Amino acid sequence: MQIILVVTGALLENAYIIYEEGSKEAIVIDPGDDTAKIEEQIDHNGLTVSYILLTHGHADHIGAVDELKRRYGAKVAVHEKDAGMLTSAQANLSAFIGLPFCIEPADILLKDGDMINTGNLALRVLHTPGHSPGSVCFLGGDVLFSGDTLFEGSIGRTDFPGSSTEDMKISLQQLRELEGDYQVYPGHGGSTTLAQEKAMNPYMGW
């Protein structure tokens, strides 16, 4: 899997452009802001975008969605429990930072276990609520896109509206129980491995 990282916005959110060698069909995960920077990478690599996948609906992860959707004709997918965040500045928390906005409704509402397939890419949806009710991780091969569920040495906040510490504990248990190791690409900060987080991240022992 080829993974292009684009760090976006004031909160340094990680957007990912992914594709497989031998195919130009790509997926964009969490295009939070800085549309031009994301488009530059897509166009430079000669990619087409089939899907825009959202790990959750908070404002810092969705800001570039509409522009990318219009340009590339991609379908937008979010977990059904975060669907309302896309169309509400209060729910996606942009209103709380004084820059309210919303985006168009998603084309696809995801559930746990769903598969997203395009070109040579295949990603499985793992519902991991806690940071938000509809937070998900995307699993593909030996890669885990963890959104704001799991960070290097830390986890996503659980003090936002709709967040839940108890749900987060259950979600982290799901990640602990995954067999094998994964390269983890989070919503903020550097990449890590699931084995390292199991061994070193204090929250994984909850």
Tokens of 66: 């509409």
Confidence at residue 205, expressed as pLDDT on a 0 to 100 scale: 81
Whole-model pTM? 0.96
For 180, the domain range is 2-205
Confidence at residue 56, expressed as pLDDT on a 0 to 100 scale: 98
Q: How many domains does the chain have?
A: 1
Burial 142-163 (b: 16+ CB within 10 A, else e): ebbbbbbbbbbeebbebeeebb
The string of pLDDT tens digits covering residues 139-167 is 999 999 999 999 999 999 999 999 999 99
Q: Does 202 have pLDDT greater than 90?
A: yes
Tokens of 81: 């429990």
Q: Does 206 have pLDDT greater than 90?
A: no
Q: Mean pLDDT across the chain, nearest whole number?
A: 96
Residue 180's region, left for phi above 0, alpha for psi from -120 to 50, else beta, is left
Q: What is the CATH number of the domain that holds 26?
A: 3.60.15.10
The string of pLDDT tens digits covering residues 42-74 is 999 999 999 999 999 999 999 999 999 999 999
